């Protein structure tokens, strides 16, 4: 009797649907998932650390232009908003700003304004770099500034400043200088998609967060849980049967669920960046998902141990499983090359692989020793005399059979 037949595969599929739904809902960011009414799409988005604001942008390396959308929910009709760049420092003075507010005619207007003094009321003027397609929109309490910037090379990574202030008589007034108004500065790198807070700490953009999330999910699923499940099946089996089977299924199924979540974030990243393609990493990822899905369905078609096709199923299962593990490790390193994180993360994963390798080196000979010893004992039991009469026959050299003359 197969002691594993009590495992109901339908349970895992129900759990898969539940967990995948959770991952899918959590993967959506309040910043990156925003949809503009004019159907504009931006490659990057950063939740700014003050004044409840967001910056969306797309940087074009070939032309050196940056399309931006500065967005601030919670803006009243009697307030102005502004966003700009200041290569000279992290303050409003010297900022090359774009300002927007609702004028006395009731129209929401946007214009450029170089900030040359704290006492001025944000007058119109040309900026130190070329700006085009300046516009603004006000929907409900959400104000948005759109513009295309032609940035010189030294401003691709620079200081950004944003502000909110009152409007009186159709004219912007001086904004508060305390609270969040005093913290509304940060560094931004349009090329890499990263923003750095004014205090020097890292404030990663939503796209960068999604890239990191994809990397972590993929590394944990394909690069850690999948090999761990194989180790459970190969080495724990000789020590704990049938517990090894449930541990193996738990690891592999968890790897599959987490891997689907990582795959989904990877697809979203690709859709958000149609001009960026990592074909090798993507193709290996698709292959991994196909292999893992085949393994899940193969579990439902697993013949019983005494079935004549069980040997062929085992060959298929092991071949696809070990191929998946090898491709997983390769793709994790390809992903690390793309993300280019700090060296400690690469070395951490290398350390995990070294640990797995040490486990294999120790348990492989030990497993063979235990298996061979058990076979030896079994063969001895099969040939050993089962009764005293058999023993006497063996002693007489007759083997318990009748002599033929």
pLDDT in tens, 183-216: 888 888 888 776 655 444 444 556 667 778 888 8
- Residue 209 token pair: 């967060």
pLDDT at 23 over 50: no
pLDDT at 277 over 50: yes
Percent of the chain with pLDDT over 90: 18
Return the number of other C-beta atoms located less than 10 Å from residue 331's C-beta.
Answer: 22
pLDDT in tens, 314-337: 898 889 989 999 999 999 998 888
Averaged pLDDT of the chain: 79
Compute the distance between CA of residue 161 and CA of residue 97 in angstroms, rounded to an integer: 8
CATH assignment of 207-381, among 2.40.50.140, 1.20.120.1770, 3.40.50.261, 1.20.1250.20: 1.20.120.1770
pLDDT in tens, 243-262: 888 888 888 888 899 989 88
pLDDT in tens, 51-89: 889 999 999 888 889 999 999 998 988 899 999 998 888
pLDDT in tens, 107-123: 899 999 988 877 667 88
Q: Which of 126-130, 135-139, 365-369, 386-390 shows the lowest mean pLDDT across its residues?
A: 386-390
Judge residue 304's burial from the number of C-beta atoms within 10 Å of its C-beta, 0-12 exposed, 13-18 middle, 19 or more buried. Answer: exposed
User: Tell me, what's the pLDDT at 383?
Assistant: 61
pLDDT at 156 over 50: yes
Architecture in CATH for domain 44-204: Sandwich (2.60)
The average pLDDT across 360-372 equals 87
* Buried residues in 106-118 as b, exposed as e (16+ CB within 10 A): eebebbbbbbeee
* Separation in Å, CA 203 to CA 145, 193, 335, 404: 22, 11, 22, 94
Domain boundaries, the chain: 44-204, 207-381
Selection from 295, 262, 294 nearest residue 281 by Cα: 262
User: Tell me, what's the pLDDT at 354?
Assistant: 93
Compute the distance between CA of residue 339 and CA of residue 121 in angstroms, rounded to an integer: 44
Percent of the chain with pLDDT over 70: 80
The tokens 């995948």 sit on which residue? 20
According to DSSP, the residues that pair with 335 across neighbouring strands are none
Q: What is the CA radius of gyration of the chain?
A: 33
Compute the distance between CA of residue 55 and CA of residue 13 in angstroms, rounded to an integer: 40
> How many degrees, rounded to 5, is the angle at CA 288 between CA 287 and CA 289?
90
Q: pTM value?
A: 0.50
Q: Are 44-204 and 207-381 the same fold in CATH?
A: no
């Amino acid at each position: 009797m197969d002691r594993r037949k009590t495992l109901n595969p339908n349970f895992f599929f129900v759990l898969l649907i539940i967990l995948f739904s959770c991952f899918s809902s959590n993967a959506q960011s309040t910043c990156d998932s925003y949809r503009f009414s004019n159907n504009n799409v931006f490659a990057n988005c950063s939740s700014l650390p003050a004044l409840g604001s967001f910056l969306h942008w797309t940087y074009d390396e070939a032309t050196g232009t940056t399309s931006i959308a500065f967005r601030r929910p919670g803006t009243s009709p009697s307030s102005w908003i502004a966003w700009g760049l200041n290569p000279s420092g992290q303050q409003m003075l010297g900022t090359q700003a774009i300002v927007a507010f609702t004028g006395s005619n009731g129209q929401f207007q946007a214009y450029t304004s170089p900030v040359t003094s704290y006492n001025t009321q944000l007058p119109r003027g040309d900026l130190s770099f070329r700006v085009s397609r300046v516009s603004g929109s006000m929907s409900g309490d959400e104000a948005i500034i759109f513009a295309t910037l032609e940035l010189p090379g030294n401003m691709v990574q620079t200081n950004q400043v944003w502000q909110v202030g009152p409007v009186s008589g159709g004219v912007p007034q001086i904004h508060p200088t305390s609270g969040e108004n005093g913290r509304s500065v940060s560094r931004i790198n349009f090329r890499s998609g990263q923003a750095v807070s004014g205090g020097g700490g890292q404030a990663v953009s939503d796209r960068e967060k999604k890239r990191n999330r994809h990397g972590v999910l993929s590394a944990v699923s394909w690069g850690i849980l999948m090999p761990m499940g194989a180790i459970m099946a190969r080495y724990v089996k000789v020590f704990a049967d049938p517990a090894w089977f449930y541990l193996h299924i738990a690891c592999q199924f968890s790897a599959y669920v987490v891997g689907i979540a990582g795959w989904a974030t990877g697809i979203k990243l690709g859709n958000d960046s149609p001009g960026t393609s990592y074909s090798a990493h993507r193709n290996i990822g698709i292959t991994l998902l196909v292999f893992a899905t085949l393994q899940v369905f193969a579990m439902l078609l697993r013949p019983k141990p005494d079935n004549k096709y069980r040997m062929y199923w085992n060959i298929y299962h092991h071949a696809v499983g070990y191929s998946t593990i090898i491709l997983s490790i390769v793709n994790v390193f390809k992903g690390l090359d793309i993300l280019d994180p700090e060296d400690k993360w690469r070395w951490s994963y290398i350390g995990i692989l070294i640990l797995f390798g040490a486990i294999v080196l120790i348990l492989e000979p030990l497993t063979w020793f235990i298996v061979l010893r058990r076979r030896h004992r079994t063969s001895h039991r099969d040939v050993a005399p089962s009764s005293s009469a058999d023993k006497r026959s063996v002693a007489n050299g007759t083997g318990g059979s009748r002599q033929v003359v």
